[in-house]
Chain A
């Protein structure tokens, strides 16, 4: 368990039960997943049952109980992206990475997800790697984009 990192996160909060989601978000960002031992500490410190911690951790899409890859690749499947070939983009990225949606590549470089809408509908189809948006991504652009991160 990485106590120092966890303590740094918890020190920003006052130990209220309503801090649960923000605390888990910070842990997810810092550790790239929600480690079991850390969750136990969180439950104790915020005074919430461990069942509630797990119910929240498994309900919301941004949380993961397994380690995620170095880069978070999100392909948008909003309505406009869907109409403009978003699913083909998912298929192409998935086949190039050798990784299904919802999973992480074997080398730990990418986690692949689809999202409901990234809000850049005018540039569909769109995908996002970490905090960077990519516009009008036709399948032929995929190799070049992925290469930047490999």
Chain B
């Protein structure tokens, strides 16, 4: 790669790059996103390589591993450009057929296309699939277009064009003004106006300022930041460059959790490429602007997603939050003015400046402009990543894009905002999703996790789960959070074990009030949301656990009884082998029996039995 010495050089390089590329170049894009990777997408890509070589397609068809293509439920996904033929659930065995039939023969492999549930109509192209209709991707738009490890791919699709515009045609004030006018709000959860935060930092005194990208995506159920860091790392870097120029920072940090090894690898590579090319370093593109980036890896602490804890971690300390104010924009990393935004926020910035703030502000709702990426998971047919304009209703997202609930089971709740969010019941399905509306119903936007639950989920168990999670992740610095979570956890254990009393509910509400008002950081303050929202909308489930000692959804272990139906049991002994406490006994090929004294109600027998002979009630 050449070092770009000037703006003209960049123009020339991009021109040559584009001239050398045929827009109709046949390309196979195998999805390497967070959903497809565990399904073996690397092996599928390898199989394509071999099968294409066998058919003499090398040089004629290009093979790429792309970022997340969105519809994770149908992985491994393969997209054939330029036609945008979208193949679903591709396995190693399907690859030779795709190569033979489609790449060589020009015909479709019908069984690998998406078929609409109901009428079974085949969708040949990506745009025919209902999941993609109604989406308006900005942050995700390049994920199924480029090879994330190729800077040329990023440049050929307009990458670093905005940086150039910013450096040579805009003052820092103009950049901040545009971000402010766009109405962009922080995509990490808080929803603070990004432009206002930048302005505060620009106006803060001090010659040395920092910017940070928060890639410590810890909310269980959210993986959009992982997908962006892995799928379009240069967009994050370009966004940060623009932010650094706007506030006057020379050094930036990207903090990525260590559970995301591929994101770290891709970002490292992208930073090296950007340095080599001259987008990072001194006097970028021969301007007066100098900036460089460093990656810091998290070490396994959820609380480090909180901005002050994250900065403590970069400084080499344990991730304990500090009270705000002072806000990071005034006194952040090493006590100096710092802007910290999350991955999705940074990735939005280049396109906002490129297309203009009015374009962005026109998308979405009045108070929440633009689009938002959601990870739509749980009890929904089309699990995956969606990017929709703010203001789309929950029903549209879950039923139109998500294709509804598997087996047409009844919808119970949707959980948004991770452990700081709440459970939203059916009565709010027509709620337009934005920062404020979610808050009004007792949840939050958070980073965009959207976990759909049907009648097989117990809402007491869900709240117990989040409290257990937060209890394990609380840093322990402040008493309301540390002691409050310990007590809440204890109360949930009592209730889900059949030892609950109605007074426990009052105790929980009092605890929540104290924690929300007295905890130092967001972790403790918002830990109450899962509790209060389930108490508000699903109080009857708490009452069933406490009064009737029953878990209506058959989830809470101590309240269940497992028995074996002697009529159905074949005596295969599969459950006997699986039972961790040796509670199941009987003669081979005859009906088995569970010793209720020994049974720990783990449910392994229930899941193992191939004959549905284990009853749970």
**Cα–Cα distance between A19 and B75 once the two chains are bound (Å):** 40
Question: Would you call A83 and B300 a contact (CB within 8 A)?
Answer: no
Does chain B have a CB within 8 A of A85?
A: yes
Contact with A along B288-303 (1 / 0, CB 8 A): 0000000011111110
- CB of B492, distance to nearest CB on chain A (Å): 14
With known contacts A22-B297, A115-B259, A122-B73, A79–B316 Cβ distance under 8 A: no
Does chain B have a CB within 8 A of A149?
A: no
Question: Would you call A120 and B223 a contact (CB within 8 A)?
Answer: yes
**Cα–Cα distance between A77 and B302 once the two chains are bound (Å):** 13
Contacting B604 at CB < 8 Å: which of A63, A92, A122?
A: A92
**Cα–Cα distance between A88 and B313 once the two chains are bound (Å):** 34
Question: Would you call B316 and A61 a contact (CB within 8 A)?
Answer: no
Does chain A have a CB within 8 A of B410?
A: no
Question: Would you call B38 and A120 a contact (CB within 8 A)?
Answer: yes
**Cα–Cα distance between A56 and B313 once the two chains are bound (Å):** 9
- CB of B37, distance to nearest CB on chain A (Å): 6
Q: How many A-B residue pairs have CB under 8 A?
A: 153
Does chain B have a CB within 8 A of A20?
A: yes
Contact with A along B11-27 (1 / 0, CB 8 A): 00000000000000000
Does chain B have a CB within 8 A of A9?
A: no
Question: Would you call B604 and A88 a contact (CB within 8 A)?
Answer: yes
Question: Would you call A122 and B607 a contact (CB within 8 A)?
Answer: no
Does chain A have a CB within 8 A of B219?
A: yes
- CB of B314, distance to nearest CB on chain A (Å): 7
Question: Would you call B318 and A79 a contact (CB within 8 A)?
Answer: no
Question: Would you call B259 and A79 a contact (CB within 8 A)?
Answer: no
Number of interface residues of B (CB under 8 A): 59
Most buried by B among A22, A83, A119, A138: A119
Does chain A have a CB within 8 A of B378?
A: yes
Contacting B220 at CB < 8 Å: which of A79, A85, A91, A135?
A: A79
**Cα–Cα distance between A138 and B606 once the two chains are bound (Å):** 12
- CB of B77, distance to nearest CB on chain A (Å): 11
- CB of A133, distance to nearest CB on chain B (Å): 3
From B133-141, B150-158, B449-457, B499-507, the one touching the partner chain is B449-457
Nearest residue, chain A, Cβ from B39: A135
Does chain A have a CB within 8 A of B328?
A: no
With known contacts A79-B415, A88-B602, A92-B578, A116–B38 Cβ distance under 8 A: no
Does chain A have a CB within 8 A of B603?
A: yes
- CB of A56, distance to nearest CB on chain B (Å): 6
Known: A52-B317, A62-B258, A123-B72. 4 other contacts (CB 8 A): A80-B221, A117-B222, A121-B375, A138-B607
B residues apposed to A, CB below 8 Å: 34-35, 37-39, 72-73, 75, 217-223, 226, 258-261, 296-302, 313-319, 375, 377-379, 383-384, 415, 418, 449, 451, 453, 457, 462, 465-466, 469, 473, 475, 578, 580, 602-604, 607-608
Query: Top 3 closest A-B pairs, CB basis?
Result: A61-B300, A122-B72, A78-B220
23 A/B residue pairs, CB under 8 Å, sorted by A: A56-B318, A59-B319, A60-B300, A60-B301, A62-B299, A79-B220, A79-B418, A82-B465, A83-B379, A83-B451, A83-B462, A88-B607, A91-B580, A116-B218, A116-B220, A117-B219, A117-B259, A119-B259, A120-B34, A120-B38, A122-B75, A122-B375, A122-B383
A residues apposed to B, CB below 8 Å: 17-22, 24-25, 48, 52, 55-56, 59-63, 74, 77-83, 85, 88, 91-92, 94-95, 115-124, 126, 131, 133-135, 138-140
